[in-house]
Amino acid sequence: MTRKAATGSKLTIATLGSHCSLQVLKGAKDEGFRTLLVCEKRRLGLYSRFGFIDEIVEVGSFTEILGDTCRRRLKQVGSVLIPHGTLISQMKSDEIEKIDTPVFGNKWILRWEADRILKEKLMKEAGLKIPQAVRSKNEIKGLCIVKLHGAAGGRGYYLAWNRESFEEGARRLIDQKIIRAESDLYIQEFIRGVPVYLQYFYSPITEELELLGIDRRYESDIDGIGRIPAKQQLGASSIEPSYTVIGNIPLVLRESLLEEVYKIGENFVRTAERLVPPGMPGPFCLEGVYDSEGKFTTFEFSARIVAGTNLYLDGSPYSGLLYDEPMSMGRRIAREVKVAKKRGKLDKVVT
Ligand code: ATP
């Protein structure tokens, strides 16, 4: 499905139809790019509603972007592919690394995002305060959160406080065919406090780190359990909180916390440059919990745009401090591609 023909040497911003694709392509259009969406057949109805999408390439499944037809088309129109959470959750790291369309950011660091061990190494070396990893169910002491590998949007996560509660949760996930074995799970110390997602953009062109937004997630049903009074909670013995992301809620931090936010972001960028060249060009997110002392413990990073940035299509309280125009993360990505191309430095922002 094509609304406009490809225009010679002009670049096209392309992405997969899910997660934050609307924001990314709207931002690309605002910056004057042609836009292309790789879209699963079942979602054509949704995405054909939006006039800023110039071309839709229909696929049965997203892994078809590795196939000849899709690759040829992406190449023909000079695409830069913007990776997001759906790419990470639907394709293996090997497959992502094989993509020969230029990928915005560092596609090699996506393996570090998907692999819990590599992820922990990068966060540790960046000097971030991180939760203790619990290597075996026999070592569980105190409250822990049990996670699946990769970006699962919190799906299947549960709380455990001893071996029995761990095994009970694992059995449930095996029965539901969400995991195959207990070894598919990762146990981590549960940090008490409030969850916060810090949305950054690092430009290798200006060598500056920008904080473009902050959000928290709205998760079912952990965020709904507080609406059930204690008496009824105690009566309903089967309540098992889950962490499935349903949406995102905007957040601003106490201003006194911002200096530390920039410091940990910069440490992360420097460490990524050292461990996974070319580092962390483009959007990334540090995800963690602030405790009652105002100390931040990072439990995760996303080395690409996160869905929480969808809140700020018209800019955020933080992007407004840096730009005199509405600057979404999607638009910021497109701006970086535009500036890099103009200065002959496209290789600094894609891999
Ligand atoms: P993504 O799609 O970002 O990759 P994910 O599946 O990795 O998501 P997380 O963001 O890691 O999910 O976590 C999901 C939920 O679990 C969030 O509510 C978060 O606050 C909570 N959580 C994760 N780790 C911890 C921890 N160590 N202590 C307390 N809460 C945690």
User: What mean pLDDT comes out for the span 10-25?
Assistant: 97
What pLDDT was estimated at residue 45?
96
Taking domain 12-104+340-348, whether its CATH number is 2.40.340.10 is answered by: no
C-beta of residue 93 within 8 angstroms of C-beta of residue 101: no
Structure tokens at 305: 């745009």
Phi-psi region of 121 (alpha: psi -120 to 50; beta: other; left: phi over 0): alpha
Q: Characterize 302-322 residue by residue with b for buried, 16 or more Cβ atoms within 10 angstroms of its Cβ, and e for exposed.
A: bbbbbbbbbbbbebbebbeee
User: What mean pLDDT comes out for the span 130-142?
Assistant: 95
What pLDDT was estimated at residue 234?
86
What pLDDT was estimated at residue 22?
98
Over the stretch 52-74, which tens digit does the pLDDT of each residue have? 999 999 999 999 999 999 999 99
**Nearest-CA residue for atom 4 of ligand 1:** 151
Over the stretch 246-301, which tens digit does the pLDDT of each residue have? 999 999 999 999 999 999 999 999 999 999 999 999 999 999 999 999 999 999 99
Share of the chain above pLDDT 70, in %: 96
**Taking the domains of the chain in order of start, what are their residue ranges?**
12-104+340-348, 114-128+193-327, 133-189
**Nearest-CA residue for atom 26 of ligand 1:** 190
How far is Cα 101 from Cα 95, in angstroms, rounded to an integer?
A: 12
Per CATH, the architecture of 133-189 is what? 2-Layer Sandwich (3.30)
What pLDDT was estimated at residue 351?
97
Question: pTM of the prediction?
Answer: 0.92
Backbone angles phi, psi at 17, to 5 degrees: -75, 85
How far is Cα 62 from Cα 40, in angstroms, rounded to an integer?
A: 7
Q: How far is CA 226 from the centre of its chain?
A: 27
Tell me whether residue 106 is exposed, middle or buried, using C-beta atoms within 10 angstroms of its C-beta: 0 to 12, 13 to 18, 19 or more. Answer: buried
Q: With 70 as the cut, is the pLDDT of residue 3 above it?
A: no
Q: With 80 as the cut, is the pLDDT of residue 328 above it?
A: yes
| Mean pLDDT estimate for the chain | 94
Pocket test for ligand 1, best of 214, 245, 296 (most atoms within 8 A of CB): 245
Pocket test for ligand 1, best of 143, 187, 197, 243 (most atoms within 8 A of CB): 243
What pLDDT was estimated at residue 11?
96
Q: Characterize 252-276 residue by residue with b for buried, 16 or more Cβ atoms within 10 angstroms of its Cβ, and e for exposed.
A: ebeeeeeeebeebbebbbebbbeeb
Cis? peptide before 204, omega within 30° of 0: no
CATH of span 114-128+193-327: 3.30.470.20
* Ligand 1 geometric centre to CA of 180 (Å): 21
* Ligand 1 geometric centre to CA of 235 (Å): 28
Pocket of ligand 1 from Cβ distances under 6 Å:
85, 131, 145, 151-154, 157, 188-191, 195, 217, 219, 243, 287, 289, 299-300, 302
Bridge-based pairing of strands 194-203 and 208-221 is antiparallel
